[in-house]
């Protein structure tokens, strides 16, 4: 019988899943060996509860044995404090579902999935590259659940009206675009903007956008230090110097720059895009439905976020975008680790995840699911973004946002030079990183 390429991919995936399951049952032991329909596990996370509950209900309709999961959504700003307090009192959940850049403060209470159960080769074959941030010395810290990459939304009517045929694929193309798409009145006030960058007060997703620029230059934002701690790479003298990213980001709010296109007196970037006053908007794939709902008449399209143009001799430039990846992690104090892991395998199975991905209009985090392809033009773009998504170990999202925002403000206000601002931000971030793991 002749098999199509798609059938071969699907068959190969299920063979991998069967082998992984057999290995697990042979090597991974939990303190409770009951069936998956006899024990309810608890999961805490910052993932939307309505989306998770809807997914679980639909999933259970397809399973021979229902899985029982009590999911509790927590505020990202208070998650660590609530979680650590619960753990100290012996009341913690069996698993957590949080973004990868929130996992650093929780590492001490996570039970990694050992490589004898899920080896790195199998993991790399199954999941997108961003998932490899979960690799640790003792095993995998989480199993990828969803991925929500940053992409570029662009206004087709504005591009067409001013004679621009194509969207920008590289950041340096915005200089030419600004000359055509940024419209100012006789007093120099911006009426139509090309790009919203340079300020954290009214640029949506500013933290993730600035991080994208840095990661494209090969700067990972944080790395593992020689003493085993996580340290920042905000260093103006490093080989992957973030200075060009900061200079690029801030030029658009400088009235003396030929690329002046934005200022803090304007509405936030998403509102400006929705009203037709901003040509490009950098948002998450999950924002597509909201943009459609808030302005059904907006004629827009979606593209991969622009990239740093490759430079001969510079081997550090990386094709990348920030991706908000949620993963499921086992908690060491749980008496139900075996059951929890089995349920996690079911929850993250790509066949099952298709239910959630379709509902939320998200790309899959599984390579086999991406390889199967899609006829949806948006999902095709989202799939490419998923493959190049990156993230970093953060200590506290709100604090890193504040540090980055203050760094940018100190540059645009003229209080500090770029190099000083970067190094000061790095020193401040190192303090936060150290305190998060103590």
Q: How confident is the model at residue 225 (pLDDT cuts 50, 70, 90)?
A: confident
> Region 258-264: what's the mean pLDDT?
95
Same domain, 27 and 84: yes
Nearest residue to 382 via CA among 308, 267, 303: 303
User: What percent of the chain lies above the pLDDT cut of 90?
Assistant: 84
> Region 149-153: what's the mean pLDDT?
98
Q: How confident is the model at residue 356 (pLDDT cuts 50, 70, 90)?
A: very high
**Cα distance between residue 98 and residue 165, in whole Å:** 40
178-197 pLDDT, tens digit each: 999 999 998 889 999 999 99
Same domain, 340 and 364: yes
Kindly list the distances between the CA atom of residue 178 and the CA atoms of 175, 190, 334, 354, in Å, as whole numbers in the listed order: 5, 11, 55, 40
Task: Say which CATH number the domain at 214 has.
Answer: 3.40.190.10
Residue-range definition of the domain harbouring residue 403: 149-321+397-436
Same domain, 331 and 186: no
**Cα distance between residue 111 and residue 329, in whole Å:** 7
> Region 11-18: what's the mean pLDDT?
40
Number of domains in the chain: 2
Is residue 230's pLDDT more than 70? Answer: yes
What's this model's pTM, rounded to 2 decimal places?
0.90
Q: According to the model, what pLDDT value does residue 20 have?
A: 40
Same domain, 305 and 217: yes
Q: According to the model, what pLDDT value does residue 438 have?
A: 61
């Amino acid at each position: 019988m002749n098999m199509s390429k798609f059938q071969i991919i699907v068959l190969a995936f299920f063979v991998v899943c069967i082998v992984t399951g057999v290995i697990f049952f042979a090597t991974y032991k939990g303190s409770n060996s009951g069936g998956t329909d006899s024990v309810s596990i608890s999961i805490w996370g910052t993932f939307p509860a309505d989306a998770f509950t809807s997914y679980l209900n639909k999933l259970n309709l397809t399973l021979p044995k229902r899985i029982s999961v009590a999911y509790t959504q927590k505020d990202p700003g208070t998650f660590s404090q609530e979680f650590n307090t619960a753990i100290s009192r012996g009341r913690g959940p069996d698993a957590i579902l949080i973004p990868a850049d929130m996992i650093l403060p929780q590492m001490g209470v996570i039970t990694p999935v050992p490589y004898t159960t899920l080896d790195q080769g199998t993991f790399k074959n199954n999941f997108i590259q961003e998932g490899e941030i979960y690799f640790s010395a003792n095993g995998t810290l989480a199993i990828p659940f969803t991925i929500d990459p940053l992409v570029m939304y662009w206004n087709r009517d504005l591009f067409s009206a001013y004679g621009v045929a194509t969207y920008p694929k590289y950041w340096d193309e915005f200089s030419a675009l600004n000359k055509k798409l940024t419209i100012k009145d006789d007093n120099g006030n911006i009426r139509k903007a090309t790009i919203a960058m340079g300020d954290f007060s009214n640029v949506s997703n500013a933290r993730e956008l600035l991080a994208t620029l840095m990661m494209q230059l090969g700067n990972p934002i944080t790395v593992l230090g020689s003493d085993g701690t996580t340290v920042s790479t905000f260093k103006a003298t490093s080989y992957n110097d973030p200075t060009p990213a900061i200079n690029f980001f801030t030029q658009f709010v400088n009235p003396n720059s030929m690329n002046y296109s934005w200022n803090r007196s304007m509405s936030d970037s998403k509102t400006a895009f929705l009203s037709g006053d901003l040509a490009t908007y950098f948002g998450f794939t999950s924002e597509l439905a909201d943009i459609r709902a808030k302005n059904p008449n907006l004629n827009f399209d979606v593209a991969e976020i622009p990239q740093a143009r490759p430079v001969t001799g510079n081997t550090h430039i990386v094709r990348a975008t920030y991706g908000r990846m949620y993963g499921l992690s086992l908690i060491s104090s749980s008496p139900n680790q075996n059951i929890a892991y089995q349920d996690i395998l079911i929850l993250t199975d790509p066949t099952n995840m298709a239910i959630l991905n379709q509902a939320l209009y998200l790309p899959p985090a599984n390579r086999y699911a991406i390889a199967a392809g899609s006829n949806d033009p948006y999902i095709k773009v989202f799939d490419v973004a998923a493959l190049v998504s990156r993230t970093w170990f953060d200590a506290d999202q709100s604090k890193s946002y504040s540090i980055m925002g203050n760094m940018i403000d100190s540059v645009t206000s003229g209080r500090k030079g770029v190099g000083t601002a970067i190094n000061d931000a790095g020193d401040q971030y190192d303090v936060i990183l150290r305190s998060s793991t103590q």
